[in-house]
Every structure is written in structure tokens, then in C-alpha cells.
Amino acid sequence: MKAFDKLFIDGAWVASSGTETLDVVDSVTEQVMATIPAGTAEDVDRAVAAARAAFESWSSTPVEERAKYLSRIGDALAARTDEIATAISKETGMVTWLSKLVQVGLPINSFKSAAALAESYQYEETVGNSLVVREPIGVVGCITPWNYPLHQIAAKAAYAIAAGCTVVLKPSEVAPVDAFILAEIIAEVGLPAGVFNLVSGVGPVVGEAIARHPDVDMVSFTGSTRAGTRVAQVGAETVKRVALELGGKSANVLLDDLDTEGFAKAVGDGVQKAFLNSGQTCSALTRMLVPRDRLAEAEQVAAAAVERVVVGDPFGEGVHLGPLASAAQRDRVQGYITKGIDEGATLVAGGPGAPEGLDTGYYVRPTVFSGVTPEMTIAQEEIFGPVLSILPYDDEDDAVRIANGVVYGLSGGVWSADKDRAVAVARRLRTGQVEINGGAFNANAPFGGYKQSGNGREYGRHGFEEFLETKSLQL
């Protein structure tokens, strides 16, 4: 077991003002794998003061210098890929080969991309008799989730630091080990003191203190819509900028012009997209919309796809899905599976309980429901587990109506034999990003949501600009 007993504030490892610690539990063994300090509001005060003191110098540091630090951080993360991926697989349950690609690979990309953006971005433009300049917003509070822990830290901290801001990070207490490794790397590369600060702890204490703090200029939060609403409410007290990346209930629309082969491909891909990271993905395509007369066909293909899914130890050979991240999350997902049965959905695959032989670890059976109606709980609420709902629709307009008929708008998918038709339908979806015929995730394209999926964007130029203010100089 690893004991992290200090916070990273003002370039140094320092003791928390409190004495309590939090256990980090291995999702595979259900044993404590690490402990971290339960930070306090006083710790946040110290971290914000350090960030505020460092801001003037860091914001005026040449962009080339900022970029060098970020590139070094990216290189150092790459050198510790195996260690970080192992920790995250234990924390979240993601299979380790995928953790290396996603949980570590994407953060490396974010630090490298942020470095390049810092150097290439045009910070000034002339508008009539005005010089319009973009400047770093100030001290940024970053509050991050447990499902893609380092990825979400990098999405915020890398771009904020690249933009010239200073950062106070509160990682999820469920999956914080990667954040401490990142802090170790930041210390090693010599990032100036106060530019990056880490205060671990729970949301109602540390997160609340960050969101409320008058010297925090912006909060960037990823997590549940309920918690994000609280961050926005508290942040409004000091009229700070708040960027939110929240829940999703994304629709994957399979149009009626797909031939048998294309339809089977779309259904199979859709099952994978719903189950990514054991369904612990905010942008997972958890609602599959199919023509009503092809519902039985979709059920057959989906059931066969689930049969091929291997659930087990994320460090095991040939495993596709590991456990969920915590007992609480497993119990939550089991509750939704039971709810789906109770409300009359047709169980196509999976169901309640753990997969056979997996009594230790937070495992859930990959589950597919069919005949789901739009008003059912499993069609409206984010489950955050390996549960796919197949909904029938009558025509294209009906499909769009069902797709848009939830409070969320984070992601989506459209499949069609005619790419132009797919794009036309995608444009009608009220959501932040849409895959066309299984289009690959782009780590440099803007990511974020409509409606209760949040506001603001992450990654690439759009994510970089979230951390900039706009000033007009009338000449």
C-alpha cells in the first residue's frame, strides 16, 4: 500500500492542516491500495494564495518557456506509462492495455498539444481602431472525476497552464494516485512554485472551498450534473467563470438505409461504444435507436456481441471489461438494471448480479435492454455502467425527437449508408459531438455539451481559449 501523506503547494510537499486521511480502494481486490490526505479549506487557502502569488510572473513568462515545461511534463508522463496505467486500472477497473492508450496516452497528447498551442496561438487582433488582446484569466480551480482521472486533469491543467494561468487541483478521491504522480513529475521538471498546486480531499470540503474562493478566477469542473450545479451556484457568489463537463445519455441513431452487413457493423460498434471503460464514460452511446421493424435484428446482433465480451481482471490476458470503480457505483448500476426489468424493458443480455466466478471486485454483467421506451428510467438517466438500451423509432423525425428527448446533450452517433444523410441528421441533434458512421474520437477537437451536459469546451484551440480573457484597447 502506498501512503501519500502530503499535499503539493507552492512547489513543495507540505502537510495538510488536518489530520484525517482517505482510503483509495483497488476495484479488483476491494483492498486499500493507497491513502491520501483529506485536505481542508485552510489547505485550499494556502494553495490559492500560492497560485495567486505565482500568477503575475507565470502569465508574463514567454510562451516558448511555458511550452518547454509542458513538453517536459508530457515526456515524463510517457516515461512512467506503465506505473500510471497500473494505478488507474486498479482505481477505475479499465483493462490495463487500454489504460496505457487512453488513460495515459491522451494526457500526454494534451500536454504536448497545449504546448504547441501556447506557441502558435494568435493572442492579438485588430478590430477597427481597437487592439483586441487575449490574456490568461488568472487562478483556475480544477475539480476532476474518477473515470478518466489523469485525462481530465490534463484537459484542464495543461491548457490552463499553457494559457498562462496558475492552477489549484482537486482530483477525485476515488482515483487520485495519478494526480500525485503528476505532481511528482511537475516538481521534477522544475515548474515554477505556485503554478500547479494539488489539494486532495472530498468535494463538499475541498471542492466547495475552491468554487467559493474569491481569489479563484475560474473553476473548471467535470463530474455529475448534480455536483456541477452546486459548483455553478457557489461560483456565482463571486461571479467567476465556471466551465462544466457533466453527464450524458447519448443516442446512437441507426438509420433505415443500412444493409444487413452495415446494420450489424453499426450495432456491434454501438455495443462497444456503450461499454467503453465498463460504461463509466460520460460520452458513452448508451441509447441505441433502431427502426422499429429491425428491432429483433438489433437484439440478435447485440446479444451475440455481448457473448464475445470477456469480463475479468483488467490485468488478465484477453479481457475486455474490468470491474466498476467502487462498491457504490456497482450498487448504483445494479439498481438501474433492476429498474429496467421492473419497468418492462426486454432483457436481451446480462442482468442483475456479478458475472460467474467474479465474486471479489466490483463487477457487473454487461447488459442490454430492448423494447425500451423514451420515458423509462434507463432511457432518461445516466447509469454509468455497462448497460445499453435499444429503443425503436418509426421514422427519421421520430428518431431525432427521441434522441433529443433527454436533459443531456454530450455526445451521439449516426449511422447511414449515405454519409451526407448521416451528417444532416447529426446537425439536428442537440449535442456537443456526434460520431458519423463510427468516426474516431479526436483528442484535439472541442469536447463539451449542450443542455445539462454542461457549458464550455475542452481540448484543442477551443479548450485553450476557455482560460483566456478578452480585452479591447481603443487606439
Q: What is the pTM of this model?
A: 0.97
Active-site positions read 245, 282
Determine contact, residues 254/267, Cβ cutoff 8 Å.
Answer: yes
Bridge-based pairing of strands 241-245 and 454-455 is: antiparallel
Q: What's residue 369's pLDDT?
A: 98
CATH class of 2-246+453-474: alpha beta
Q: What's residue 110's pLDDT?
A: 97
- Residue 462: which residues within 8 A CB-CB, separation 6 or more? 446
Q: What's residue 121's pLDDT?
A: 98
Q: What's residue 295's pLDDT?
A: 98
Asked if the model's pLDDT at residue 374 lies above 90, the reply is yes
Q: What's residue 1's pLDDT?
A: 87
CA distance 10 to 260: 60
Q: Which residues on adjacent β-strands are paired with residue 368?
A: 349, 388
Asked if the model's pLDDT at residue 92 lies above 90, the reply is yes
Q: What does pLDDT average to over the chain?
A: 98
Q: What's residue 265's pLDDT?
A: 98
% pLDDT > 70, the chain: 100
Pick the CATH number of 251-448 from 3.30.460.20, 2.40.160.210, 3.40.228.10, 3.40.309.10: 3.40.309.10
- What pLDDT, in 10s, does the model give residues 1-45? 899 999 999 999 999 999 999 999 999 999 999 999 999 999 999
Give the chain's length: 475
Asked if the model's pLDDT at residue 408 lies above 90, the reply is yes
Q: What's residue 274's pLDDT?
A: 98
Round to the nearest angstrom and report the end-to-end CA distance of the chain.
62
- What pLDDT, in 10s, does the model give residues 292-314? 999 999 999 999 999 999 999 99
CA distance 295 to 391: 8
Q: What is the SS3 assignment for 380?
A: helix
- What pLDDT, in 10s, does the model give residues 241-278? 999 999 999 999 999 999 999 999 999 999 999 999 99
% pLDDT > 90, the chain: 100
Letter string b/e over residues 53-80, b meaning 16 or more CB atoms within 10 A of that residue's CB: ebbeebbeeebeebbebbbbbbebbeeb
Mean pLDDT, residues 316-320 taken together:
95
Q: What's residue 294's pLDDT?
A: 98
Q: What's residue 221's pLDDT?
A: 98
Q: Which cell goes with 226?
A: 448534480
Amino acid (one-letter) located at 113 = S
Angle ∠(137,141,145) on CA atoms, nearest 5: 135
- Domains of the chain, by residue range, sit at 2-246+453-474, 251-448
- What pLDDT, in 10s, does the model give residues 64-80? 999 999 999 999 999 99
Q: What's residue 299's pLDDT?
A: 98
CA distance 49 to 44: 8
Q: What's residue 457's pLDDT?
A: 97
